[in-house]
C-alpha cells in the first residue's frame, strides 16, 4: 500500500515537474520570438503603445472632465431669499428642514447683515455706493444657499419651499428663489450642458478604447497570420494546443508590458507639460495629476494588466482558427 | 504497422473521391515507396495517416492505434509517434538547428538533460555536426531537409512518413537524403516515402505502391518494380 502511494506521489511530482518545465519553455519561446522577430516586435509594440497611450489619455481626460464638472456643480447653488427682519430661530427651523431633505447636500445661511458687509467689501473702492449704503436702511434679504445632489432635480426643494409654513411666513415675496422664474432656465441649462459633457466624455472614452483595442487585435492577428505555417508545423509534429498558444501569449504579454511602461511615461509627460495651459482655461487637471503621482504604482500595474489582457485576448482569438485539428 | 482497409476520402461536396476504397498493409520495418502523378491521392493518403483529415469511410490503424476510436485530444500524442518529413521542410525559421530538433522533444515533455543527450547524437546521425547554431535560412536545401529528418526521428518513431522529401533538392542532395532514410529504416523504423523521382524508385529496389486517380493500381514487391523515366 505504502509502495503504491509512493508510486502515485512520484507520478504526481513528475507530472508537476513536467508542467513547470513546459511553462518555462513556453516563456522562453515567447521571449525568443519577441527578440528574434525585430520588425514584427517593433510594429506590435508601437501599436500597443499607441493604444495604451490613447487609453491613458482618454481616462485622464475623463477624470479631468469629471473634476471640472464637479467644480461647476459645486459652484451652482440654489438660493431662497428670506425677509430682512427674519428671526434667527425661524432660520434654524428652516435650515434643519432643508438638511433633512434627501436631495440637499449642504445649506449655508447669509444673514442680511453679512450680505450688507459683503456688498460693502465688494464696493470698497466706490465711495458713492458706500455712502448710499451707510445712509440707507438695510434692505438685504437673508439668503439660504442650498447645494443639491443633482442640480437638475429641484422637485423636493420646490415642494418644501411651497408647503413649509415657516418658509412661507418668512420668504421674501419680492424675490423669487433661484430655481424659479428666469434663473431657473439658466440653472437648468448649466445642468443639462454639464450632463451632456459627462455623457459625451464617457461615450468618447468607450469609442476610443474599443477602436484602439481592435487595432491591437488586428496587429496581433496579422503577426500570427504571418506565422500560420509555423503553427501548422507545430501541430503536425505533435505539439498540443496549449504548447503552441503559450509562446504567442507570452509574446503578447511582453508587448503589453513594454508598451505599458512607455505609454504611462509618455501620457504622464503629456499631462504634466500641458498642466499650466489647461489650468489657464479653468480645466481642473491638478486632481488627476496628483492622483497619478500618488498612485503611480497602481496606475502602472493597471496599464500593464490592461496591455497584457488586450494582448492575451487578441492572441487567443487569433490563434484559435489555426489550432483546429 | 500501417493498415488501411477500404478507405475512401471525398472532400466536401465533390462527387469524385480523392481516394476510393484503398486497402494497404505495411509491415513493421518495411520501406514502402508511394508513387503516382499529381492528384493521384498520395498527399491525401499521408494526411489521413497523420490525421489531418478524416476518412469518409473505411478503417485506419497505425502502430496499433485504431483511428475510429481516437479522440481529438489524443491526436498530438499520435503525431508524436509518427515522424513526418515534408517537401518544403517546415522548419521553425526563428530557431536554430539545435532548437528545431529539440522542439520535437520539448513538446513531448522530455527533460533538458535528456534533450542534451539526444539531440547531438541525431545531429551527428544526419551529418550536421557543427551547424547546431545555424538558422534555417543559413543552410542549403539538403541541409534543411536533414534538419527536418533529424526532427522527425529524434523521438525514435516507429514510422517515418516522408512526403516528397527530395522534391526541392538537386540530384546529389536527393541521394544524400534517400541514403539517410535507408539508414533510418535499417535501424528499424518503418518508412513510407512518396516521390516523383523515377531514378530513386528504380535504384532503391523496394516495395512500390502506385496510386492513380485515388486507387491503388499496382503494389509491387521489393525489387520487382521497373518504370521508365518520367512514368512514375
Q: What is the pLDDT of residues B178-196, one digit of tens each?
A: 999 999 999 899 999 998 8
User: And the C-alpha cell for B72?
Assistant: 481529438
Q: Are residues A67 and A84 in the same domain?
A: no
Weakest mean pLDDT among A65-74, A303-312, B104-113, B159-168: A65-74
Q: Is B66 on the interface with A (CB under 8 A)?
A: no
Question: Which residue numbers of A have CB closer than 8 Å to B's CBs?
Answer: 18, 21-22, 25, 32-33, 36-37, 229-230, 232-240, 243, 325
DSSP sequence for A242-308: HHHHHHHHHHHHHHHHHHHHHHHHHHHHHHHHTHHHHHHTT---HHHHHHHHHTHHHHHHHHHHHHH
Question: What's the CATH number where A163 sits?
Answer: 3.30.70.3040
> What is the least distance, in Å, from the CA of A43 to any CA of chain B?
17
Q: Are residues A62 and A113 in the same domain?
A: no
Q: Are residues A152 and A299 in the same domain?
A: no
Q: What is the pLDDT of residues B6-30, one digit of tens each?
A: 999 999 888 889 999 999 999 999 9
The domain segmentation of chain B, as residue ranges, is 2-92+157-220
In a domain, A12, yes or no: no
Q: Is B50 on the interface with A (CB under 8 A)?
A: yes
Which residues on A lie below 8 Å from B76 (Cβ)?
A: 235, 238-240
Nearest CA in chain B to A19: B109
Question: Of A177, A201, A218, which marks where a domain is finished?
Answer: A177
Whether A240 and B107 lie within 8 Å, measured CB to CB = yes
Q: What is the CATH T-level fold of the domain B2-92+157-220, as seen in this structure?
A: Rossmann fold (3.40.50)
Strands (E) across chain B are located at 2-9, 19-26, 31-35, 57-62, 65-66, 82-85, 159-163, 190-194, 207-212, 215-220
In a domain, A305, yes or no: yes
Q: Are residues A216 and A239 in the same domain?
A: yes
Q: Which phi and psi (to 5°) does residue A106 adopt?
A: -155, 145
Query: Are residues B196 and B170 in contact, defined by beta-carbon separation less than 8 angstroms?
Result: no
Scanning B102-131 for CB atoms below 8 A from A yields 103-104, 106-109, 111-112
Strands (E) across B63-166 are located at 65-66, 82-85, 159-163
Cα–Cα distance for residue pair B44/A84, rounded to 1 Å: 101
User: And the C-alpha cell for A254?
Assistant: 511582453
Whether B90 and A21 lie within 8 Å, measured CB to CB = no
Whether B104 and A235 lie within 8 Å, measured CB to CB = no
**CA angle (A260, A264, A42) in 5-degree steps:** 45
**Which domain does A161 fall in, by range?**
78-177
pTM listed for this prediction: 0.69
Number of domains in chain A: 2
> What is the least distance, in Å, from the CA of A54 to any CA of chain B?
32
User: For testing the chain B interface, which of A224, A233, A323 should be mutated: the one with the most B CBs within 10 Å?
Assistant: A233
Whether A325 and B51 lie within 8 Å, measured CB to CB = yes
User: And the C-alpha cell for A26?
Assistant: 513556453
| β-strands B159-163, B82-85 pairing | parallel
In a domain, A170, yes or no: yes
Q: What is the pLDDT of residues A156-180, one digit of tens each?
A: 888 888 888 888 888 888 887 877 6
Q: Are residues A64 and A85 in the same domain?
A: no
Percentage of the residues of chain B whose pLDDT score is greater than 90 = 59
Whether A25 and B75 lie within 8 Å, measured CB to CB = no
In a domain, A19, yes or no: no
In a domain, A2, yes or no: no
In a domain, A291, yes or no: yes
Residue A293's DSSP bridge partners are none
Q: Which pLDDT score, from 0 to 100, does residue A182 have?
A: 59
Cα–Cα distance for residue pair A315/A312, rounded to 1 Å: 5
Whether A238 and B94 lie within 8 Å, measured CB to CB = no
Whether B107 and A243 lie within 8 Å, measured CB to CB = yes
Q: Are residues A270 and A218 in the same domain?
A: yes
Q: Are residues A210 and A298 in the same domain?
A: yes
Q: What is the pLDDT of residues A115-153, one digit of tens each?
A: 888 888 888 788 887 787 777 777 788 888 888 888 778
Cα–Cα distance for residue pair A118/A112, rounded to 1 Å: 10
User: And the C-alpha cell for A300?
Assistant: 502602472
* pLDDT class of A181 with cuts at 50, 70, 90: low
The residue ranking higher by pLDDT, A148 or A194, is A148
Place of cell 432643508: A98
Q: Are residues A199 and A309 in the same domain?
A: yes
Look at residues A243, A248, A231 and name the one whose alpha carbon lies nearest to residue A324: A231
Q: Are residues A66 and A97 in the same domain?
A: no
Q: Is B52 on the interface with A (CB under 8 A)?
A: yes
In a domain, A187, yes or no: no
Q: Are residues A274 and A253 in the same domain?
A: yes
Measured distance between the N- and C-terminal CA atoms of chain B, rounded to whole angstroms: 25
ipTM: 0.82
Whether B93 and A239 lie within 8 Å, measured CB to CB = no
Q: Which pLDDT score, from 0 to 100, does residue B30 have?
A: 94
> What is the least distance, in Å, from the CA of B35 to any CA of chain A?
22
Sheet architecture: strand order including B65-66: B19-26, B2-9, B57-62, B65-66
Query: Are residues A52 and A303 in contact, defined by beta-carbon separation less than 8 angstroms?
Result: yes
Q: What is the pLDDT of residues A216-266, one digit of tens each?
A: 888 888 888 888 888 888 888 888 888 888 888 898 889 889 999 999 999
Q: Which pLDDT score, from 0 to 100, does residue A261 have?
A: 94
| β-strands B65-66, B82-85 pairing | unpaired
Amino acid at each position: 500500500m505504502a509502495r503504491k502511494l509512493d508510486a502515485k506521489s512520484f507520478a504526481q511530482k513528475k507530472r508537476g515537474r513536467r508542467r513547470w518545465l513546459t511553462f518555462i519553455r513556453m516563456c522562453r519561446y515567447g521571449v525568443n520570438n519577441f527578440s528574434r522577430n525585430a520588425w514584427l516586435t517593433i510594429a506590435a509594440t508601437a501599436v500597443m503603445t499607441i493604444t495604451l497611450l490613447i487609453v491613458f489619455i482618454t481616462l485622464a481626460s475623463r477624470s479631468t472632465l469629471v473634476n471640472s464638472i464637479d467644480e461647476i456643480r459645486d459652484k451652482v447653488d440654489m438660493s431662497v431669499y428670506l425677509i430682512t427682519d427674519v428671526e434667527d430661530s425661524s432660520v434654524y427651523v428652516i435650515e434643519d428642514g432643508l438638511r433633512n431633505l434627501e436631495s440637499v447636500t449642504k445649506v449655508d445661511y447669509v444673514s442680511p447683515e453679512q450680505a450688507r458687509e459683503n456688498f460693502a467689501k465688494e464696493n470698497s473702492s466706490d465711495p458713492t455706493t458706500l455712502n448710499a449704503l451707510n445712509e440707507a436702511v438695510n434692505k438685504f434679504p437673508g439668503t439660504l444657499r442650498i447645494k443639491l445632489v443633482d442640480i437638475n432635480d429641484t422637485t423636493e426643494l420646490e415642494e418644501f419651499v411651497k408647503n413649509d409654513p415657516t418658509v412661507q411666513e418668512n420668504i421674501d415675496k419680492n424675490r423669487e428663489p433661484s430655481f424659479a422664474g428666469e434663473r431657473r432656465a439658466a440653472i437648468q441649462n448649466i445642468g443639462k450642458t454639464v450632463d451632456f459633457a459627462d455623457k459625451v466624455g464617457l461615450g468618447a472614452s468607450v469609442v476610443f478604447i474599443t477602436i484602439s483595442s481592435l487595432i491591437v487585435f488586428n496587429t496581433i492577428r496579422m503577426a500570427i497570420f504571418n506565422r500560420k505555417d509555423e503553427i501548422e508545423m507545430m501541430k503536425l509534429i505533435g505539439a498540443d494546443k496549449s504548447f503552441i498558444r503559450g509562446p504567442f501569449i507570452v509574446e503578447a504579454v511582453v508587448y503589453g508590458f513594454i508598451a505599458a511602461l512607455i505609454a504611462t511615461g509618455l501620457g504622464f509627460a503629456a499631462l504634466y507639460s500641458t498642466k499650466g495651459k489647461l489650468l489657464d482655461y479653468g480645466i481642473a487637471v491638478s486632481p488627476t495629476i496628483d492622483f497619478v503621482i500618488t498612485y503611480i504604482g497602481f496606475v502602472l500595474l493597471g496599464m500593464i494588466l490592461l496591455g497584457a489582457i488586450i494582448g492575451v485576448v487578441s492572441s487567443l482569438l487569433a490563434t484559435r482558427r489555426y489550432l483546429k485539428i | 504497422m500501417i493498415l488501411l482497409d477500404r478507405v475512401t476520402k471525398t472532400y466536401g461536396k465533390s462527387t469524385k473521391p480523392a481516394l476510393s476504397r484503398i486497402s494497404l498493409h505495411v509491415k513493421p520495418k518495411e520501406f514502402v515507396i508511394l508513387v503516382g502523378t499529381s492528384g493521384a491521392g498520395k498527399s491525401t493518403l499521408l494526411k489521413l495517416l497523420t490525421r489531418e483529415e478524416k476518412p469518409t469511410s473505411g478503417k485506419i490503424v497505425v502502430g496499433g492505434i485504431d483511428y475510429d476510436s481516437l479522440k481529438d485530444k489524443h491526436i498530438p500524442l499520435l503525431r508524436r509517434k509518427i515522424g513526418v518529413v515534408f517537401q518544403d521542410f517546415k522548419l521553425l525559421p526563428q530557431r536554430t538547428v539545435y532548437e528545431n530538433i529539440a522542439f520535437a522533444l520539448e513538446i513531448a515533455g522530455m527533460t533538458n538533460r535528456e534533450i542534451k543527450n539526444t539531440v547531438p547524437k541525431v545531429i551527428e546521425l544526419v551529418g550536421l555536426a557543427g551547424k547546431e547554431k545555424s538558422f534555417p535560412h543559413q543552410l542549403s536545401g539538403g541541409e534543411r531537409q536533414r534538419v527536418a529528418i533529424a526532427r522527425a526521428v529524434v523521438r525514435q518513431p516507429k514510422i517515418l512518413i516522408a512526403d516528397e522529401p527530395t522534391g526541392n533538392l538537386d540530384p546529389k542532395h536527393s541521394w544524400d537524403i534517400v541514403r539517410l532514410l535507408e539508414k533510418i529504416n535499417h535501424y528499424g523504423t518503418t518508412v513510407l516515402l512518396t516521390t516523383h523521382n523515377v531514378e530513386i524508385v528504380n535504384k532503391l529496389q523496394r516495395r512500390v505502391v502506385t496510386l492513380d486517380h485515388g486507387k491503388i493500381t499496382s503494389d509491387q514487391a521489393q525489387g520487382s518494380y521497373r518504370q521508365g523515366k518520367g512514368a512514375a
